[in-house]
Amino acid sequence: MLSYRHAFHAGNHADVLKHTVTIQLLRYLGQKDTPCMVIDTHAGAGVYALDGSFASKNAEYETGIGPLWDRKDLPEPLADYVKLVKDLNPSGKMRYYPGSPYCAFHVMREQDRLRLFELHSSEAKILAENFNKLEAHAAAQGVRHTTRGKRIMIERGDGFLALKALLPPPSRRALVLIDPPYEDKRDYQRVKETLQDALLRFPTGTYAVWYPVLQRMESRQMPEKLKRLGAKSWLNVTLSISSPSPDGFGLHSSGMFVLNPPWTLEATLRNMMPYLVEVLGRDSGAGFTLETGEA
């Protein structure tokens, strides 16, 4: 059941959407001096080698970060995202791709806290190793980025279950990123149940859920179920780069559903999404949707 390895998909169009939105959420939360806790329930390995055996197999980054790498006309949010990726590749060659944990690590401030959970044993081990390398690199540059166990915590475990003990955070400010692999269709129900509980414990938190847009019923019903959870406000954005394949395989579309989003996010995405469709779109099925609502 734990066969999923995100490295196969690193840097694809879904990652572009997920990580750009995540960075924008963190930038907004960072505008106040009050500390913020960032919780990633399905952290993965943190950093991925695009020239490694997993990522190079299908080269999915060619549907995402690849076409954006040398663009000079990027809208500001995408320029911010691409710069973060390039900062991980000081040689100028696109070799490494940052997962959500690295995005948070790069954007968060000294007073913020990062809590990472990963159930897959191999991924959890690589995640810890990658953060050790990041810390060593920062120390070599004279920058003390973290005190492990306090500022950053990495734990092998079920992020759905672990979230309960962390809410509400002491500062009453948090971004929770929920990004399960959805290999097991029960993940859809667990996302809903986890958010129901989280909103009871911490109704003012910001919760960002990535989900694949697939033909299966659970995927199609996901956004409507999340809209009915009772959050004060919500935003749902999807990006499609092509029409579905005739055999139904492959990921052509994905979405980010944000509960209690910043008021600025809708305008940011309305400006950015047409550009992504133009640059990443592969046929007439490319497009985006963006909707918001309030309780």
Q: Please list the active-site residues.
A: 179
Interatomic CA distance for residues 26 and 30, integer angstroms: 6
Longest dimension (CA), the chain: 54
Burial of 256 (0-12, 13-18, 19+ CB in 10 A): buried
Residue 161: both structure tokens together: 């279950």
What are phi and psi for residue 240, nearest 5 degrees? -115, 135
Helices 13-29 and 76-87, packing angle to 10 deg = 100
Residue 41 CB contacts under 8 Å (≥ 6 apart), including other chains:
117, 159, 160, 162, 163, 176, 177, 178, 179, 180, 194
Asked if 102 contacts 88 with a C-beta cutoff of 8 angstroms, the reply is yes
